[in-house]
Amino acid sequence: MNDRAPESVEDLGPNRVGLVVGLMLGVPLMTVGVLGLWQHMDATPPANYLRFFIGGDLLHDFLVAPVAALVGVVIIRRAPALVRGPLRAALFTSAIVIAVAWPGLRGYGRARAPDNISVQPLNYATAVLTVLAVVWVVTAVWVTVEVLRSRR
């Protein structure tokens, strides 16, 4: 992960015609959504909705992304050059696998429907470790190939 600015191509700014056309088409679509939420306020309580709508974005911008940057500085950049790409791939993919499996790992669905044996039926800790093993074995092969290639 890095903090390098975009390449020195000139900043074109928004395409003005495209932006106007986009607004003409996009704002009505957004209005359908906002009005729908407004009209069904009993099913979509605004305060709770906004907490999740805005909260997810804030969580990403001020926690997830900074942690990713920190991992980049502390772990990836300190690794040998050949390993950096594979290491970044393995860490990113591992984080994604854990995020996707998180509700299973925590057993939220099973707790909600304890009589339903078909909800989250697996041992997700084992399942996640299995997938992570695949990720890191592939990464090890990738690193080996890179090392062998560099020695030629």
Partner 1 sequence: MNDPALRPAGVHDERVAARLGVALGVAFTVCFLTGLYSHLAQHPSLGFQLPARPVGLYRVTQGVHVATGIACIPLLFAKLWTVYPQLFQWPPFHGLAHAIERIMIFPLVAGSIFMLFTGLANIHLWYPWRFNFPDTHFRTAWIVMGALVVHIGAKVTVTRRALRRTPADPVAPEVVADRRAFLATAFGASALITVFSVGETFGPLTRLALLAPRRPDTGTQGFPVNGTAKETGVLSLAQSPDYRLRVEGNVRTPLSFSVDELRALPQHSAELPITCVEGWSVSRRWTGVPVRDLLRRAGAPPHARVRVESLQPYGSYTVSFLDSDQAHDADTLLALLVNGELLALDHGYPVRLIAPDRPGVLQTKWIGKVIVL
Residue with the two structure tokens 């986009």: 22
Least distance (Å) between residue 33 CB and partner 1: 3
Question: Do residues 86 and 147 touch, judged by C-beta distance below 8 A?
Answer: no
Q: CA-CA distance, 75 to 133, in Å (whole number)?
A: 20
Q: CA-CA distance, 30 to 47, in Å (whole number)?
A: 19
Residue from 63, 67, 70, 122 binding partner 1 (CB under 8 A) = 122
State yes or no: residue 141 binds partner 1 (CB under 8 A): no
State yes or no: residue 144 binds partner 1 (CB under 8 A): no
Query: Binders of partner 1 among 1-30, rule CB under 8 A?
Result: 1-7, 9, 12-16, 18-23, 25-30
State yes or no: residue 53 binds partner 1 (CB under 8 A): yes
State yes or no: residue 82 binds partner 1 (CB under 8 A): no
Residue from 67, 70, 125, 130 binding partner 1 (CB under 8 A) = 130
Residue 116 or 144: the one with the smaller Cβ distance to partner 1 is 116
Residues 6+ apart with CB under 8 A from 122: 104
Angle (CA) 125-71-50 rounded to 5° is 75
Residue 58 or 151: the one with the smaller Cβ distance to partner 1 is 58
Residue with the two structure tokens 């003409």: 24
